Structure 1
């Protein structure tokens, strides 16, 4: 019966069966969250864990059949690792290796030329979640010499197996994320997010339904625009014969719409998590409760952002935060920020899959952010630019220009992310004469020439000899 219903919906909407199963799984979070609030919220921790485990396994079976055993096996392996060697560098290294290799073997076994709705989809979420738990146990044992950010998620003990299963299979983040720490999950289970006045479930229903409505809106926009800006057209001969300006305009809309699909899906998940009460994030300066603790996209900031860094910061937020906390900042020993950033982006691409499109996209992201930083510093060297930017009447024009430029560049990079296979994305870039590739790749040379021969240099001031001691103290301070 379930199979027939899925096939009917898939044929009616024109979407693959697997995508319908995923959508139904995300929407199931809403009745499940209301059910939890009504009957499970005040039960014991054991029952709460059992609820999330049972529901998670049911959703996994509905989507992947008996392949769901991969998730269970990986969880048990990491739990045994924590029992044998808790809070050690060895456990951290082994967890990173085991989780990443398990996922990689899954990619090798099941990867196709398109997006795969296989057990590897939730497993990539699980990979980061389990690795994060091992890191948090390590931070909890270390106690001193860790940052405030690490203290907020550090674990003073090894979680039990049922806690590991509940945290990993919680339907609010099992299928497509978002990432949330074991500490947050346990605080939620222990009732730390309850209404402080009544002790009842938090007043999060309205906030959750708002995110649900916004998610539905993004999904509708994606479905409508997909009829006009599709993958099939961008790969067609008609696209190749369009003028470069029209190609850029098409790619701009296509790339923005590709992101709408991800944003809509994340918002649907976030809405159910918010109703559940798991996304509580304290209060703002006015005493209003915040429900963005599990937000994977900062929608207002994302739509308004007109720089690469702001776009990246607002999109896939929890995954990026995870990468920053557990990879980028832990690579400080390399002594080079750009190198740490490059290694982090390489792991992020590897985590997404083995298709060349992922690696190419994140390479362009690396080049784009450095291009933006360099260009901004160059432009701000000219007083006329500073004067122009300071005028209120010009600010809307500047914002619009930057927004269009950044969206085009991001969409240009997403061509390889969306098309995955080298032959396909190379065909599109070739028809566009690799125009932005030349811009980003040649920028370091242009930047060097501008700095060396064009830009005004700061005049060096001669420091009087009787101020030598002060000069030395300033130099030491700068060092």
Structure 2
């Protein structure tokens, strides 16, 4: 009965059935959160773990059927590693190796040339959770003085129970599309600590509904405009026959719209706010904050003219996990080189996303773009002339030009990310004459000469000494 109903619904909406199931599952998280608030907030931890486990399993089965066995197996293996290996480096290495190899094997055996919603999609989110769990358990055996602030918050003082790990992994507010959060945060949720009024469910209904409305708006924008800018258009003779400027502008608009697919799912994380997991204490203004699980900063995403600004506003929790948080980037300090650490982190994210060549091209291009942008920002900051221009009445014009360049070349690395295979993205890059590569490599080569020309000699000398 359910299958024909889903087929009819997907046909009426003009969307693939897996996508409709996914969106419905994300929305079902809201009534699940209401049930938790109304009936389970004061219940024992075991009851709450069971509710989170079985509600998450039901959503997983609704989307992926018997393939939920993959997540169940990996969670069990992770628990056994913690129990049997203890707080050791061996646990971390074993966890990292097993979880990543299992994920990559899943990518290999299910790979197609299209973007498919299948069991590997939530599994990549789960992989980070479980690897992070081994780090947090290891940190729990250290002295607080040996840990930074982030590690202290996430460190686990004791080994969690199997039911606790399953509840954490299948929590309906993060299992399918994220966001990432630590087991320590989940434990505080279950204990009723994540609330603005101690002993009672949090006053988070209005913040959650605001976030839901924003996510719904993003979803509507994507639904209306995405059919007019499909990925497949890149591979048509019609696209290749268009003028060069049209092909570039199409990339710009397409990138803006395609990202709303991710924005809409991540912004509807009001489920976490509603349950209390999004509670983030009291801000400097004295107001309660609900952004602990925020995966998108929508205002920054829409207004920043910088590539680094967009990256900072997008998929925040995964970026935090990998680049700025406690698990990958900060643990690579021993390499002694920030650039090498960043390359290693991007390489990890590349492999984590999948095995297609498009991911390699996307993240390598992202690294180049960010590096060049930071060098350009340093030039503007160090040059009195450029600083005056940036702060002058010309700023609105500069902002418009910046935004055009920003979104044109933000879409440029997204092309291989979405087209996956070498033959497809190479065809598109050839049609725009590799303009992104040429632009950024040219800027990279001329920046040192511009620095000599525009930065006073004294300033350059001070920078070298620093």
TM range (shorter): over 0.9
The corresponding residue for 1:85 is 85
Listed as ranges, the matches of 1:239-388 within 5 Å are: 239-268=239-268, 270-324=269-323, 325=325, 326-388=327-389
Tell me how large the CA RMSD over aligned residues is.
2.0
- Structure 1: distance between partners of 2:223 and 2:64: 25
- Structure 1: distance between partners of 2:242 and 2:296: 34
- Structure 1: distance between partners of 2:446 and 2:223: 41
Q: Aligned with 1:171: secondary structure? A: coil
- Structure 2: distance between partners of 1:255 and 1:307: 15
- Structure 1: distance between partners of 2:109 and 2:117: 13
Q: With structure 1 as the length reference, what TM-score do the two structures score?
A: 0.93
- Structure 1: distance between partners of 2:333 and 2:433: 38
Are 1:96 and 2:96 matched, yes or no? yes
- Structure 1: distance between partners of 2:395 and 2:443: 26
1:394-430: CA deviations, max 9, x gaps? 3332222222211111111111111112111111111
C-alpha displacement of 1:450: 4.1
C-alpha displacement of 1:302: 1.5
Q: Aligned with 1:133: secondary structure? A: helix
The corresponding residue for 1:177 is 178
Q: Aligned with 1:290: secondary structure? A: coil
C-alpha displacement of 1:107: 0.6
The corresponding residue for 2:188 is 187
The corresponding residue for 2:165 is 164
- Contact kept, 8 Å, 1:258 with 1:418, in 2: the verdict is no
- Structure 2: distance between partners of 1:336 and 1:455: 28
C-alpha displacement of 1:378: 3.0
Give structure 2 stretches of 5+ with no counterpart: none
When structure 1 is superposed on structure 2, of 17-26 and 48-57 the one drifting more is 17-26
Listed as ranges, the matches of 1:12-31 within 5 Å are: 12-31=12-31
Q: Aligned with 2:414: secondary structure? A: helix
1:237-290: CA deviations, max 9, x gaps? 12112222221111111001111110001112x111211111101111222111
The structure having more radius of gyration, on CA atoms, is 1
C-alpha displacement of 1:380: 4.1
Q: With structure 2 as the length reference, what TM-score do the two structures score?
A: 0.95
- Contact kept, 8 Å, 2:266 with 2:296, in 1: the verdict is yes
The size of the alignment, in residue pairs, is 462
- Structure 2: distance between partners of 1:175 and 1:385: 46
Are 1:235 and 2:228 matched, yes or no? no
Are 1:418 and 2:436 matched, yes or no? no
Distance 1:34 1:451, change over 3 A: same
- Structure 2: distance between partners of 1:251 and 1:358: 17
The corresponding residue for 2:124 is 124
- Contact kept, 8 Å, 2:179 with 2:294, in 1: the verdict is yes
1:98-138: CA deviations, max 9, x gaps? 11001011111111111122211111011000111110111
